[in-house]
């Protein structure tokens, strides 16, 4: 019997893969350098299943689908990714010190870092360095268990083994990981706290409020303090996990986040959105609460 583990990052609540080809989805999760032939072989051998059934690389998956990858395929994908990077003559070991400086917590299962704004979490065609590559230099078994935007700073988590990856995915899917973000908006809000409940839809590379066809999106927020006469520090808790949720929700009430060029925030060198706190029960029954200090530009 083949042991199957659910692919890290896939969640009906946290990512949007609507009508994506299965092979493209696998490459987005494990890296764009995974050979197509390796994916095809894994599909033939039933090391990749969709909703428990054999699938083809051209099959379109939707957000309700469950994609599973065997532990064997997981290992060969990871090895192929690392091998291609090694053969590209790029020396990522020089980033080891930088990654170490980002680590704010580590145990036998997890690594939690305070990611700076401007650093991508995954390598892409337009990025030369990313958290996942830097992490491999620190720990070859490290794997991202969630993502934040390149421009967003703060808490980013990686697992150190497959059991923890599986467990963390279960927590995300069941909304048992609680996150708090800090953000700076221009102006003073007329309320001390509030709830934004506006469904969202993704259109091309942007997300919009869509009251007809959008997916449920709820954000709680409260004012922490007024930084200046026209800048306010806010704490936000996303109760759902839609793409760009906090950014779009704040813009929808005419208080876009400072530096958010995509959603009409005032021009600034940095997007003032910071993943500040995460809390959840570890697989050993311990409540873990970790906070990432705010960047200097938030002050």
Q: Where are the domains of the chain?
A: 1-89, 91-174, 178-298
Identify the pLDDT of residue 177. 94
Residues that are catalytic:
149
Identify the pLDDT of residue 265. 81
CATH fold of 178-298: Pseudouridine synthase (3.30.2350)
Q: Is 91 exposed, middle or buried (0-12, 13-18, 19+ CB in 10 A)?
A: exposed
CATH fold of 1-89: 3.10.290
Identify the pLDDT of residue 12. 35
Identify the pLDDT of residue 10. 36
The pLDDT profile of the chain, 299 residues, written as one tens digit per residue, is 333 333 333 333 334 455 678 988 888 777 777 888 889 889 999 999 998 889 998 888 887 788 888 888 888 887 776 665 554 555 667 888 999 999 999 999 999 999 999 999 987 666 778 898 899 889 988 989 888 999 999 999 999 988 898 899 889 888 899 999 999 998 888 889 999 999 999 887 789 999 999 999 999 999 999 888 889 999 999 999 888 999 999 999 999 999 999 998 888 999 999 999 999 999 999 999 999 999 999 98
Q: How far apart are CA 68 and CA 50, in angstroms?
A: 6
Domains 1-89 and 178-298 share a fold: no
Q: Does domain 91-174 have CATH number 3.40.50.300?
A: no
């Amino acid at each position: 019997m083949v042991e199957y583990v659910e692919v890290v990052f896939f969640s009906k609540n946290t990512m949007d893969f609507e009508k994506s080809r299965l092979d493209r989805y696998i490459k987005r999760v494990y890296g764009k350098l995974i050979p197509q032939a390796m994916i095809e072989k894994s599909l033939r051998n039933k090391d990749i299943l969709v909703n428990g059934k054999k699938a083809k690389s051209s099959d379109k998956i939707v957000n309700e689908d469950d994609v599973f990858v065997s532990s064997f395929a997981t290992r060969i994908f990871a090895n192929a990714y690392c091998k291609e990077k090694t053969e590209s003559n790029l020396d990522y070991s020089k980033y080891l010190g930088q990654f170490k400086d980002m680590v704010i917590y580590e145990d036998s299962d997890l690594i939690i870092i305070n990611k700076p704004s401007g650093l991508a979490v995954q390598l892409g065609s337009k990025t030369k360095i990313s958290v996942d590559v830097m992490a491999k230099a620190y720990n070859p078994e490290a794997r991202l268990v969630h993502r934040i935007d390149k421009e967003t700073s703060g808490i980013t988590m990686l697992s150190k083994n497959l059991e923890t990856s599986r467990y963390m995915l279960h927590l995300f899917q069941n909304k048992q990981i609680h996150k708090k973000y800090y953000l700076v908006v221009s102006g003073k809000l007329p309320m001390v706290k509030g709830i934004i409940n506006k469904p969202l839809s993704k259109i091309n590379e942007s997300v919009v409020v869509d009251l007809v066809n959008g997916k449920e999106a709820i954000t709680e927020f409260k004012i922490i303090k007024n930084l200046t006469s026209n800048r306010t520090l806010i704490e936000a808790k996303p109760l759902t996990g839609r793409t760009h949720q906090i950014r779009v929700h704040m813009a929808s009430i005419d208080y876009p986040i400072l530096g958010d060029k995509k959603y009409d925030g005032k021009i600034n060198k940095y997007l003032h959105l910071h993943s500040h706190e995460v809390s959840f029960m570890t697989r050993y029954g311990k409540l873990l609460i970790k906070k990432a200090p705010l960047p200097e530009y938030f002050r």
